[in-house]
Amino acid sequence: MQSIVPLPLQPAQWEALQAAYAQPPRAYHHWGHIEAVLQGYAEVAACPGWRQPREVALALLFHDAIYEPGQRDNEARSAELARTTIPRWWPDAGLDIARVAELILLTARHGQLAPADVDADAALMLDCDMAILAAPPAQFDAYDQAIAEEYRGHVPGFLYRINRRRFLRGVLEQPRIFLSDWFHARCDAQARANLRRAIG
């Protein structure tokens, strides 16, 4: 995974990121999720490519670094962590830290955005994060169950089920689930099949 990120990461930095994704214990938003989105990042890098590859990679690395189920400020806190960490780790890299934070904050709006609302890099990055919706059925089901497990003990079960169903239905009803043409062509049909099945 380190070879995918177009910036040097020292072992201690890599370990710090992995540690962040282990707190609190997570069923889905753990380091495995970051490995998956970085694989999507690498596929996009090969074609169609990124305009700001370093900033996008950093946004993906940090986007769920702070994650507490049921809290509304996870993305804002993750963006703030990126703002404070990146200048310390890469002081002379000339990175657009505000852009990294902007991309992280956009992940709070999954299912609410249209292609016209974002630029090409943002669309592709958000789609990397949402690609799990188009996973094979068994993998999608495992993801759906893991999200429920994360919320268990934080949100009453009946309320979680109502809100989760509302979110999935809202995504399904969007004219475009995936904001980029690249992901739309590859993922839309499978994502819609998974969502219909999950909603029941």
Whether pLDDT at 119 is above 90? yes
> What is the per-residue pLDDT for 1?
76
Backbone angles phi, psi at 191, to 5 degrees: -60, -45
Q: What is the pLDDT of residues 48-89, one digit of tens each?
A: 999 999 999 999 999 999 999 989 999 999 999 999 999 999
Specify whether the CB–CB gap between 13 and 89 falls below 8 A. Answer: yes
Say whether pLDDT at 2 is over 90: no
Q: Mean pLDDT across the chain, nearest whole number? A: 96
Helix axis angle, 74-89 to 53-62, nearest 10°: 130
| Per-residue confidence (pLDDT) for residue 9, from 0 to 100 | 94
- C-alpha distance from residue 82 to each of 24, 51, 115, 138, 152 (Å): 18, 20, 25, 33, 28
Q: Which residues contact 127 (CB under 8 A, 6 or more apart)?
A: 40, 178, 179, 180, 182, 183, 187
Distance CA 149, CA 154 (A): 10
Is the pLDDT at 18 greater than 90? The verdict is: yes
Residue 24 preceded by cis peptide, ω within 30: yes
CA distance 77 to 101: 10
Structure confidence at residue 70 (pLDDT): 87
Residue partners of 102: CB distance under 8 A and separation at least 6: 122
Q: Is residue 194's pLDDT more than 80?
A: yes
Q: How many CA atoms lie within 13 A of 108 on its CB side?
A: 17
Task: Report CA-CA distances (Å) from 6 to 90, 93, 128, 182.
Answer: 12, 11, 17, 22
pLDDT digits (tens, 9 = 90+) for 88-101: 999 999 999 999 99
pLDDT tens, residue by residue, 146-177: 999 999 989 899 999 999 999 999 999 999 99
